Amino acid sequence: GAVVSQHPSRVICKSGTSVKIECRSLDFQATTMFWYRQFPKQSLMLMATSNEGSKATYEQGVEKDKFLINHASLTLSTLTVTSAHPEDSSFYICSATPRDRGLSYTFGSGTRLTVV
Amino acid sequence: QQQVKQSPQSLIVQKGGISIINCAYENTAFDYFPWYQQFPGKGPALLIAIRPDVSEKKEGRFTISFNKSAKQFSLHIMDSQPGDSATYFCAASMLGEKLTFGTGTRLTIIP
């Protein structure tokens, strides 16, 4: 089945630094990748949608200069949290839609970001 | 129009019982309705999904019931087991578009 690998699973960084999270589709080409943020005991909140080779579409209220998304290939999308602050601490999850496997969404295992 | 309402927020079911979680949507353009299971510290995993052209879909102990006219769908977990204890999310989308998630249900199965 479709597998999405997300790395790292956990990261701790200092305030003011940047952190990059990778999302890879291992056995399929992902036309579209989605990035979510999840706070404890809450639902997934969509941050942005990225299509290979084009700029990401950000949801209302999400700062695109702070959360940089790059979808340079059909198997890799990255989310960079720039100038991270403690309030950016959260669980970040990516999801990918296969190009040729019908309608489905496969999720990565998530990245726990802690900013100290 | 994009909301998906989910209930209950939390649910406690005895082992062997039936767990039922309900969702309601507003956007009639939605045509894909999945249910996800999430364990702490993990990403959501697809349990079962349904399209609006069928009223019920069953996979093992998991069944989705879909009522198009009422714009509601539900997840039934038969013979609930302690290993089913997790958070469950319903979702909805238009073909290939972003998923809209429900608020989640924390399910606890007690011995």
Q: What is the mean pLDDT of chain B?
A: 95
Instruction: Give the minimum alpha-carbon distance from A83 to chain B in angstroms, rounded to a whole number.
Output: 24
> Looking at beta carbons, which residues of chain B come within 8 Å of A92?
none
**C-beta separation of A52 from A73 below 8 A:** yes
Mean pLDDT calculated for residue range B23-43: 95
Q: What is the pLDDT of residue B95?
A: 72
What are A37's strand-pairing partners? A45, A92
Question: Whose structure tokens read 């009422």?
Answer: B70
Q: Summarize pLDDT for A63-115 with one digit per residue, the tens.
A: 999 999 998 888 999 999 999 999 999 999 999 987 765 667 899 999 999 99
Residue B96 has pLDDT above 70, yes or no: yes
What confidence score (pLDDT) does residue A100 get? 64
The mean per-residue pLDDT over the stretch B21-37 comes to 95
Residue partners of B94: CB distance under 8 A and separation at least 6? B27, B29, B30, B31, B32
Measured between CA atoms, the residue of chain B closest to residue A90 is: B41
Query: In A, residues 56-75, which contact B (CB 8 Å cutoff)?
Result: none
Instruction: Identify which has the larger pLDDT, A53 or B12.
Output: B12
**Residue A33 contacts B where some CB pair is shorter than 8 Å:** no
- pLDDT reported for residue B58: 97
CB pairs under 8 A between A and B: 46
> pLDDT (tens digit, 9 = 90+) per residue, A22-43?
999 998 888 889 999 999 999 9
Whole-number pLDDT of residue A43: 95
List CB contacts (< 8 A) between A91 and chain B. 41
Looking at residue A56, the DSSP 8-state letter turns out to be: P
Q: Which residues contact A55 (CB under 8 A, 6 or more apart)?
A: none
